[in-house]
Each structure stands twice: as structure tokens, then as C-alpha cells.
Amino acid sequence: MLHGGTMVTKPTFYITTPIYYPNDKLHIGHAYSTTVADTLARYKRLRGYDVRFLTGTDEHGQKLQRKAEAAGMTPLAYIDGIVEGIKKLWERLDISYDDFIRTTEERHSTVVQKMFSRLLEQGDIYLDHYEGWYCTPDESFWTEIQLKDGHCPECGGEVEWVKEEGYFFRMGKYADRLVQYYKDHPEFLEPESRKHEMLNNFLLPGLEDLCVSRTTFDWGIPVRENPKHVIYVWLDALSNYITALGYLSGDPELEARFAKYWPADVHMMSKEIVRFHSIYWPIMLMALDLPLPKQVVGHGWLLMKDGKMSKSKGNVIDPNQLIDRYGSDALRYFLLREISFGQDGVFTYESFMDRLNYDLANDLGNLLHRSLAMLKKFASGVIPEPAHLTELETELRDWIVSLADQTEAAMERKEFSKALETIWQLVRRGNRYIDETAPWALHKAGEGERLNTVLYTMFEVLRIVSVWMEPFMPKTAPEMRRQLGLASGAATTWDSARVFGTLPPNLVTAPGEPIFPRLDVEKELAVLGVLALPDASVAPAKEANKAGDKATQAQPEGVVSLIEIGDFTKVELRVAEVVSAEKIAKADKLLKLQLSLGDEVRQVVSGIAKHYAPEQLIGQKVILVANLKPVKLRGVESHGMILAASTDTQLVLATVSGDIPVGAKVK
Ligand code: MSP
């Protein structure tokens, strides 16, 4: 950029999210990480940085291969659909990423192979044998002593004994250098507590060499020199942060981009994967002779009242459901305001509604709408020129400068909740200012000059709030300014928000619909189906999901919305009799059933094998969802689904209590 004859280069800011596993739809926990990263990216852009923001998907590994197999699909076909849903979600949430990397892309896999070859050549990686425990959900290796009661110490899940030929990375060789790096760069790992954990639990006791290849499945990037090995999924995944920029791409333009943005300023994630990012990743980079990221940030978890969100608990919340009903900015605001960054936070519908009602409808929405309504009534909707500023306004003006300092300081420290709290101090002050100055009384008393100053000040407060809100609520901020009649320009820059009086007068306002209408909490909870969460009613979908039924994965989980009777009548339920039942090879949860409907026999695959022996089922009259799209489960076609009631441990088939011919409709 040319500025007064000198070259001014913007400082760069490279920020990344974890690349998510596309084995399922993402939930509000994933949305939290991504929204936090997006808010920081937007803030840095407003502060004049040349920002590069990367997100993507981590598409290899045993877990994904198994999921796809269970759904009777190839891994890529299975993943493609989910990735599409993830991209759509980020679009809806206004995630302003510059690049989305998929680890199945060639631009990634060929570079990972090159990296592996280099490490092999220089002796950092060697061939040996691995014997030990492996946690597939976490894709991590554990030693006997590291296990907790025989389970994965990280996720508590089951571990498998793995014995195979494997390549190993000499992690230990770099451990001292890494410890020194931690010492020299106190800001590298945030928060501080995670650094102690990494040092005490992993680095100081001595780092073992890490197994970095697998041979017992093939869904991964093959080692070029020995293709029966696929590269360990974490080595593959972590590399995305440099492959996406263009490292070793051979394309001079992309290599220049890599040189421009690397090292990353912030790798954002939650605490459970900090270990991979603050130990394995920096060591890989050291071995490749590359600079280390400036910061790894491990934030807390978004929890439900009953703990972590998980499919088996059925407490997973789909962000799409909240966006559909309340809009993306409401969700973004809630996530950033409610959770103190770094700490765990709990999601409840009640706290979500409260934030919407108190902060967004009462405080912000009210300030905007009453200001616009008064302006319309007292000044034909045109923002007047202010006259003399009284002490009330000059105090406000000075206070705004200190609020600007506090907001910036909070943003720099990634204290998003605190920044919003500071911004809301001004929102509330705006409402109080109106109460104190009583523009209606000034109008009545014919105090035109004073009224002009007051009206101007009200809108000046709204302008400043809209600028500060921009990184958090990218839809609402411009919508507020649209209603103010204020186009982007000198009065919408970040720095303009600390200067009271920047708002140009004579703007013609354009009042619109309330930005955040007040909600009737009881009604909302009923609409969302959370007043009485009927476990049994979600059970069939849950059960089918376990079997990988894609058709049911499109439904929100854990929350059941009220539906119209017309929605229910779309489902054709019929009585069917089991004429035969058999197990499916290598699928311990599934049974293949032939069901008679009187005039036809249907084949249905059902995830009930853990609860019913095939012979128990013959002659039972069950209830069939007869108009489901056919799917393939473990390669076996299924033309419908049978209903069952279940809890976490029990499952009982739904049947009919009296004598009724097969094929009868259930309504
Ligand atoms: N694929 C790996 C990451 C590889 S990065 C090189 C992975 N994927 S994941 O799909 O399991 O995503 C984990 C990340 O999602 C967490 O680190 C966090 O950023 C986000 N979250 C998932 N659940 C979350 C909560 N309940 N709360 C907050 N963040 C959560 O691990």
C-alpha cells in the first residue's frame, strides 16, 4: 500500500481453528471455538491487520473409516455430505475464514508426504514395531501406566491393543529445546495452567518416541517409501496449518504466502488437544527447521448441565436449530458473553433466553428502537446537529474514551465476555441517558436546542456501540447502522468509536423491525421441546444413528421441536410381522429382518442385536416406518425402520397390544 510516498505494510495476523472431524454434524461446542476465532479475526481486521483465518476438516483415520463403513459408504462419500453441512453452518454463522482446508485435498496430502520423507531422510523418523494401547475416538496412543482404570485417560473411552510395524518420531531428541522455548516465550501457551500440565505430565518426565504410522487400516496418507503404512492422523492433521498456506507447494506465489503468514499468531482450540499442539506440533516444526507458532490457546469446554455433550447422552445441541429460530448473532452473542474465555461454561436454554431478553431485547433493542421512535416523532426521523454540550455529554464523551481503552485491553487479552460487558455498560448508559434527559419533556417544553443535543447524543452512542459490536455480531452492527442511515466510512472505523462527535448530522434514519424481539421464555422452551424432554421419543433416532443411518442424522439431536400434525402425517407407520431375522457379519449391533406387510415383504436393518436374539423376534408384530428412504447399512439394504423405546442401557421394541392384521396403519 502506498501512503504519502512510503510503503506501508500491514502487520499480518494468522489465526486457525482446529480442523474438525467430519464424522458427525458439529455441535455448539465446535461452533464456540470457531466463533471465538472469527471474532478475533474480525477484531484484528478492524485494527488494521492483514488477517489470514484458516479452518477446515480432519478427514483421515480409523474412526472415520469405521463410521463410513457402518453407514455402508466409502469414506469420502460419507465425509463429503458432512463437510457440506459444516461449510453451510460456518456460512450461516458468518465465519469469515479465508481458507477451508480438507486433509483429503491433494495440496495437503502431497506436502505431508514430502514432510514425512524429509524427516525420514534426516533420521528423525525410523521404522520399528509398536505395541501398546490406542484410543480410536481420540486417535491417540497410550502406555499401560497412562491408562485410567483401563480406559483412555483423555476421553474415558475404550482402548484397543495395537501391535504392528510402525514408524517412530524421535520426539525425545527435541524435548530440551521445547522446554527452553516454553521458558523463553511465556506467552506461547495460554492459559498458564496448561503449560504446567504439559511440562509436568509430559515433557519433564521424558518424552517417548511417537508412533507416526499405522498399517491396520488404509484411510490415510500413504508413506511414499512404504505405502502399506498410512501417516498417523495427528501428524497429517497438524500439518494443515502450513500446507494450507502453501509450504513446500513448489508454487512460488503460494510459497510467498507461506513466508508472509507463518508463523501463526494463534492456534485456537479447546484444552483436550493442547497436548498435540504444544508438544508434537512444535517438535515437528523444529525438525523441519521452521519457526514455531506464536501462541497456542486452549479454551474451556461448553458443557451441558449433565456434563460434556455426547451423542450417547443425547444432549448434543445443533447450532442450526438456534440459528433458525433466533438468528446467528444471538448465538454468537450468547457464546461470547456467557462463557468466561478459558473457563468451562454451561449451556442452558434458560440462560440463553435470559441473555436474549435482557441484553439483546431489553438493553440493545430497546435503545435502538426508542431512539428511532423519538427521533421520528420529534425530528421527522433526521438526526439533528447537536447544540451546546452540557456536563452530562462531556462526561459521557470522556468516559467513552476510557471504555474504548477497556474494550481494547479485554480484546487483546481475549477476554471476550469482559469486552462485551464493557460495551454493554455504554448500552445501558444510553438508556439511562434517555431517562435522565427525558426528550419527550424537552419537546413538550419547546427546548429545541437541548433536544437536538440529546437526540444527537443518543445516536452517537448507538454508532459507537455498533462499531464495537462488529467483531461479535457481524449482522446486527451493520443493520443498526442501516437503520441509522449511516454508510460505512470514516464514522464506522474502529478508531472513530473513541471520538465522540464523529457521527455526521442530518442522516435520514430508516427504522426497521425490532432487531431482537422479546421472547416469552415458557413458550420458547415449549417450541424447542425442552420443557419435557421425552427420552423415549428420541430413542429410535438415536438408535438408528448408532447404526450410522444418514437419513436420521439430518435431524437435530437431543432437542425435539413441536411439529404440525401435517408433519406427523408425512410419516407412514404400519404394523409388520417379523418373518425372519439374522445377524450381519462384522456388525455386532445390527440384525437383518424380513417383515411381512401382508401384500409385501420388506427387508429392514435394525440396530437391536444387543437386545434381541434373532429367534426371539420371529412372529412379533412391530411398528415399521414404512416410507423412509432406503439406506445401506454395512452394505445391506434397509427399507424402513422399526420403532423401539430405549434408555442408555435398555431397548424394547414397540408392538401392538391387540389382534390386528399386518399392514394396518398406525396413526
Ligand atoms: N481433528 C481434531 C483436531 C485436529 S487440529 C489439527 C479434533 N477434532 S474435533 O472435531 O474433535 O474437534 C475438537 C475441537 O472442537 C476442540 O478442540 C474445540 O476446539 C472444539 N470443541 C468440541 N467440543 C467442544 C465443547 N464442548 N466446548 C468447546 N469446544 C469444543 O479434535
Which domains occur in the chain, in start order?
2-104+235-314 (3.40.50.620), 110-233 (2.170.220.10), 348-498 (1.10.730.10), 567-653 (2.40.50.140)
Q: How far is the CA of 4 from the centre of ligand 1 (A)?
A: 46
Q: Is 30 in the pocket of ligand 1 (CB under 6 A)?
A: yes
Q: How confident is the model at residue 544 (pLDDT cuts 50, 70, 90)?
A: very low
| Phi/psi of residue 574, nearest 5 degrees | -140, 150
Angle at alpha carbon of residue 284, lines to 278 and 286, rounded to 5°: 90
Q: Summarize pLDDT for 52-92 with one digit per residue, the tens.
A: 999 999 999 999 999 999 999 999 999 999 999 999 999 99
Residue 543 has pLDDT above 50, yes or no: no
Q: Whose CA is nearest to atom 2 of ligand 1?
A: 20
- As given in the structure block, the three cell numbers for residue 503 are 457521527
Q: Percentage of residues in the chain with pLDDT exceeding 90?
A: 71
What tens digit of pLDDT does each residue of 438-473 get?
999 999 999 999 999 999 999 999 999 999 999 999
Lowest mean pLDDT among 60-69, 108-117, 446-455, 542-551: 542-551
Q: Cell 469446554 identifies what position?
A: 301
CB-ligand 1 contact for 393 (6 Å cutoff): no
In this predicted structure, the answer to whether residue 585 has a pLDDT above a threshold of 90 is no
Atom 6 in ligand 1: residue holding the nearest Cα: 238
**pLDDT tier at 569, thresholds 50, 70, 90:** confident
Kindly report the average pLDDT of the chain as a whole number.
Answer: 90
Cell numbers placing 414: 481475549
CA-proximal residue: ligand 1, atom 7 (nearest) = 20
Distance CA 638, CA 509 (A): 59
Is the CB–ligand 1 distance for residue 103 below 6 Å?
A: no
* Backbone angle region of 591, left / alpha / beta, with phi > 0 → left and psi within -120 to 50 → alpha: beta
Among protein residues, the one whose CA lies closest to atom 12 of ligand 1: 20
The rounded distance, in Å, linking the Cα atoms of 337 and 318 is: 19
Check if the beta carbon of residue 280 is closer than 8 Å to that of residue 171.
Answer: yes
95 Cβ inside 6 Å of ligand 1: no
Rounded distance between C-alpha atoms, residue 314 and residue 310, angstroms: 6
* Ligand 1 neighbourhood includes 301 CB (under 6 angstroms): yes
Helices (H) and strands (E) in the chain, counts: 25, 26
Q: Which of 15, 17, 19, 20 to mutate to test the pocket of ligand 1 (most atoms within 8 A of CB)?
A: 20
Q: Within a 10 A sphere around the Cβ of 473, how many other Cβ atoms?
A: 27
C-beta of residue 310 within 8 angstroms of C-beta of residue 157: no
Angle value at C-alpha 248, between 245 and 254, nearest 5 degrees: 40
Among candidate residues 288, 257, 280, the one with its CA nearest the CA of residue 112: 288
Residue 387 burial (CB count, 10 A): 14
Pocket test residue of 34, 100, 243, 273 for ligand 1, highest count of atoms within 8 A of CB: 273
Residue 32 C-alpha to ligand 1 middle, in angstroms?
10
482 Cα: distance to centroid of ligand 1 (angstroms): 36
Q: pLDDT per residue over 314-339, tens digit each?
A: 889 999 999 999 999 999 999 999 99
Which atom of ligand 1 is found nearest the CA of 300? 28
pLDDT level of residue 554 (50, 70, 90 thresholds): very low
Nearest C-alpha to atom 25 of ligand 1 is from which residue?
Answer: 29
Q: How many CB atoms lie within 10 A of CB 303?
A: 16
pLDDT at res. 586:
77
Find out whether the beta carbon of 309 lies less than 6 Å from any atom of ligand 1. Answer: yes
Q: From the CA of 238, give the closest atom in ligand 1.
A: 6
User: Ligand 1 pocket, 82 CB below 6 A?
Assistant: no
Q: Could you tell me if the CB of 416 is within 6 A of ligand 1?
A: no
CA-nearest of 90, 96, 86 to 40 is 96
Please give the number of the atom of ligand 1 that sits closest to the Cα of 20. Answer: 10
Ligand 1 atom with the smallest distance to the CA of 270 is 17
- The pLDDT of 226-254, averaged and rounded, is 98
Q: Which residues of 11-47 are buried (b: 16+ CB within 10 A; e: fewer)?
A: eebbbbbbbbbbbbbbbbbbbbbbbbbbbbbbbbbbb
273 or 600, which is more confident: 273
- Ligand 1: does its nearest atom lie under 6 Å from the Cβ of 29? yes
The answer for residues whose C-beta is within 8 angstroms of residue 371's C-beta and 6 or more apart is: 430, 434, 455, 458, 459, 462
What separation in Å is there between the alpha carbon of 256 and the centre of ligand 1?
A: 30
pLDDT of residue 630 exceeding 80: no
Indicate the DSSP class of residue 94: T
Q: Beta strand pairing status for 99-102 and 50-57?
A: parallel
pLDDT digit string, tens, across residues 258-273: 999 999 999 999 999 9
Q: If you average pLDDT over residues 560-585, what whole number do you get? A: 79
Lowest mean pLDDT among 247-251, 565-569, 575-579: 565-569
Is the C-beta atom of 424 inside 6 A of ligand 1? Answer: no
Give just the sign of the alpha carbon dihedral 533, 536, 541, 545.
Answer: positive
Q: Decide: 57 in ligand 1 pocket, CB within 6 A.
A: no
Q: Is 242 in the pocket of ligand 1 (CB under 6 A)?
A: no
In order, the DSSP letters of 107-132 are HHHHHHHHHHHHHHHTTSEEEEEEEE
Q: Is the CB of 36 under 6 A from ligand 1?
A: no
Ligand 1 proximity of 269 Cβ (cutoff 6 Å): yes
Q: Sorting pLDDT into bands at 50, 70 and 90, what band is 533?
A: very low
The DSSP code sequence of 394-423 is HHHHHHHHHHHHHHHHHHHTT-HHHHHHHH
Q: 602 pairs with which residues across the strands?
A: 595
- Of 482 and 664, which is predicted with more confidence? 482
- Nearest to 389, CA basis, from 398, 378, 380: 398
pLDDT in the model for residue 564: 64
Size (the chain), residues: 667
Which atom in ligand 1 lies closest to the alpha carbon of residue 138? 31
Question: From CA 414, how far away is CA 501, in angstroms rounded?
Answer: 29
Dist. CA 303 → ligand 1 center (Å): 13
Contact partners, residue 449, CB within 8 Å, separation at least 6: 387, 388
CB of 19 shorter than 6 A to ligand 1: yes
User: What separation in Å is there between the alpha carbon of 284 and the centre of ligand 1?
Assistant: 21
| 548 pLDDT higher than 80 | no
Say whether pLDDT at 542 is over 60: no
Which residues, at least 6 apart from 340, have a Cβ–Cβ distance to it below 8 Å? 415, 417
